[in-house]
Amino acid sequence: MMVLSIDDVYDSSIREIPIIGTLKAIYKRRGLLRLLIARDLTLRYKRSVIGIWWSLLNPLLTSLVLYYVFNTVFKARMASGTSFAPYLLSGMLISTFFNQGLTIAADSIAGGAGVLTKVYVPPPIFALSATISTAVNFFMGLIPLTAIVYVSGQSLRLRTPAVVIVALCMVLLTTGLGLLLSLVYIRFDDSRPLVQLILLMLTYMTPVFYPVSVLGPHTRAVIELNPLTSTLNVFRDMFGRNAVATLGDWLYMSGTSVLIFCLGLYFFNRMWPKTVAML
Amino acid sequence: MSLPVVEITDLALAYRRTRHRVASLKQVAIDSIKRKVAFEQFFALSGVSFTLERGEVLAVIGRNGAGKSTLLKTLARVLPPTKGRVIVRGHVAPMIELSAGFNHELTGAENVVLYGSLLGRSPKEMVNRLGEIGEWAGLLEHLDIPLRAYSSGMIARLAFATATDAIPDLLLIDEVLSVGDADFREKSATRTASMISGGSAVVLVTHDLETVRNLATRALYLEHGKPIAAGAPDMVIDRYLADLHH
């Protein structure tokens, strides 16, 4: 048998620097992170015939339905030069990323109890692997989106590759919120239906299928507080020209996602020792 | 002379729990209206101190709920201590309810690599060890099929082979020596013995006092989280049995 020689010392009296300490611990286990992402993707696609496209079926079909329902209503209200089909599909892709990433991240920790109560693994690794594999899904969705963009007589732009930054911000945002949500899931048995309801309300508070111009000034002010509204402006500006992304949108998107990620990580680490005892 | 693998000083671990183990939102809402969100603090462990050197086997005994598994979780650094200090030097391998990290949709090989990586080893290293692990478990030809096609005995063998593939600095064992058929139990006992002689320090939790007499070099008897007796296994076991019969 081989002897493991790791000069790791665990001393419970050493307090780690809150957020940096966790990031370091995750970086140290990056091999595991890669493996978990591969596992998530394998499990999601192995069992279905159409493979990776399965997870896109939902946003694509929902988009189709919404298109038939709302096309006539909102077409007239769309700004000139924009097109409803790519506007709608890009909205669905971001909203699916948010809802899926968030719930899968929370479930990965709440469901990883078997491992997390027995072996030391930084729990945020599970959330991060869930959101990164959701990002892979999102990138697959860019293929049909690009097709719709060209069908609508628009084209991709020089700034399109910066979609990687959008995905990164979404990963940070959903990981931070997913960590907090996992604490709620573990502590309160009956929280899931309520969370689903809140997520549905959030979806309606995001301009996924309606143009912001149909809203009154007060509603509009509220909707623009939603970080996903800025994210959508940035994203829609990249695939065709279905929104105008200002510098403010870029800053709000990246600022809120980094902030929520850090807050999520901080509160999660503070609450985790008490929560793990409940698992 | 190297430093001890484990140093525990005046360890205490408190749980704060609601009256209902996992609260429901409904319950909390009702309780907060009645103004009695009841938390009770209880100590799963208190006043525990010991050090453990390489080659030593510490058996922790006591009734159910005495804090034995909590002590293992503290050593595995899953639960941070409420008071006191825990120092663990080197690689810790927990053999606690094996197969918790297994996924039935993945193949045997994928599971071995994932499980080993969860235990803190590098994925690359685990890929290199696949052959030997499969061979020891007697499952070399089955490594490429999904785990759901395995019997529970096969899964236990694969999990044990993975967890004990290398000699760690500290080995944590929670009642797992009793899995599998007689053949496998003998094989795993030999393997555990070779890990101890290979330089591991071991903390063993079990209700099987015969195992304690055979394997342990020291024993610790816990009752309601407090150490009642510690020292030579025979003496500690006698004290425990005397208490049990009262």
| Cα–Cα distances in angstroms (integers) from residue B55 to residues A264, B58, B173, in the given order | 42, 10, 15
Q: Nearest 10 degrees: CA dihedral of A219, A223, A225, A231?
A: -160
**B3 interface with A at CB cutoff 8 Å:** no
| Cα–Cα distances in angstroms (integers) from residue B97 to residues B129, B138, B156, B177, in the given order | 22, 21, 10, 10
> What residues have CB less than 8 Å from A189, skipping those under 6 apart?
B22, B23, B24
What is residue B123's predicted lDDT score, i.e. its pLDDT? 94
**B25 interface with A at CB cutoff 8 Å:** yes
Q: Is A266 helix (H, G, I), strand (E, B) or coil?
A: helix
Residues of A with Cβ-Cβ distance to B21 under 8 angstroms: 278
Are B123 and A32 a contacting pair, CB within 8 Å? Answer: yes
Residue B39 CB neighbours (<10 A): 10
**B127 interface with A at CB cutoff 8 Å:** no
Residue B241 CB neighbours (<10 A): 12
Residues B158-215: tens digit of each pLDDT: 988 898 898 889 999 887 656 667 788 788 888 888 888 888 999 999 888 988 998 8
Q: Is A204 helix (H, G, I), strand (E, B) or coil?
A: helix
What is residue B99's predicted lDDT score, i.e. its pLDDT? 66
- Residue numbers in chain B where pLDDT is lower than 50: none
| Cα–Cα distances in angstroms (integers) from residue B192 to residues A73, A87, B32, in the given order | 72, 62, 51
Residues of A with Cβ-Cβ distance to B39 under 8 angstroms: none
pTM value is: 0.90
Residues of B with Cβ-Cβ distance to A186 under 8 angstroms: 22
Residues of A with Cβ-Cβ distance to B25 under 8 angstroms: 188, 190-191, 194
Residues of A with Cβ-Cβ distance to B86 under 8 angstroms: 10-12
**B138 interface with A at CB cutoff 8 Å:** no
Are B76 and A120 a contacting pair, CB within 8 Å? Answer: yes
Residues of B with Cβ-Cβ distance to A198 under 8 angstroms: none
**B24 interface with A at CB cutoff 8 Å:** yes
What is residue A51's predicted lDDT score, i.e. its pLDDT? 65
| Cα–Cα distances in angstroms (integers) from residue B136 to residues B13, B44, B97, B162, in the given order | 39, 38, 20, 9
The Cα of A41 is separated from the nearest Cα of chain B by a number of Å equal to: 12
Supply the Cα-derived Rg of chain B in whole angstroms.
20
Structure-token pair, residue A87? 């506007």
Are A205 and A222 a contacting pair, CB within 8 Å? Answer: yes
Residue with tokens 């990249």: A238
Residues of A with Cβ-Cβ distance to B97 under 8 angstroms: 114, 118
Contact state of B79 with A189 under an 8 Å Cβ cutoff: no
What is residue B180's predicted lDDT score, i.e. its pLDDT? 66
What is residue A94's predicted lDDT score, i.e. its pLDDT? 97
Structure-token pair, residue A128? 């991060």
A→B contacts (Cβ < 8 Å), by residue, are: 1-13, 31-32, 34-36, 39, 42-43, 46-47, 114-121, 186-191, 194, 273-274, 276-278
Supply the Cα-derived Rg of chain A in whole angstroms.
20
Nearest CA in chain B to A1: B166
Residues A124-183: tens digit of each pLDDT: 999 999 999 999 999 999 999 999 999 999 999 999 999 999 999 999 999 999 999 999
Contact state of B25 with A12 under an 8 Å Cβ cutoff: no
**Considering CB atoms only, which of A3, A34, A277 is closest to B199?**
A3
Q: What is the ipTM of this complex?
A: 0.86
Q: Which positions 203-222 of B are in contact with A (Cβ < 8 Å)?
A: none
**B12 interface with A at CB cutoff 8 Å:** no
| Burial classification of residue B191, based on how many CB atoms lie within 10 Å of its CB (0-12 exposed, 13-18 middle, 19 or more buried) | middle
Structure-token pair, residue B141? 């030809």
- Residue numbers in chain A where pLDDT is lower than 70: 1-7, 47-52
What is residue B176's predicted lDDT score, i.e. its pLDDT? 62
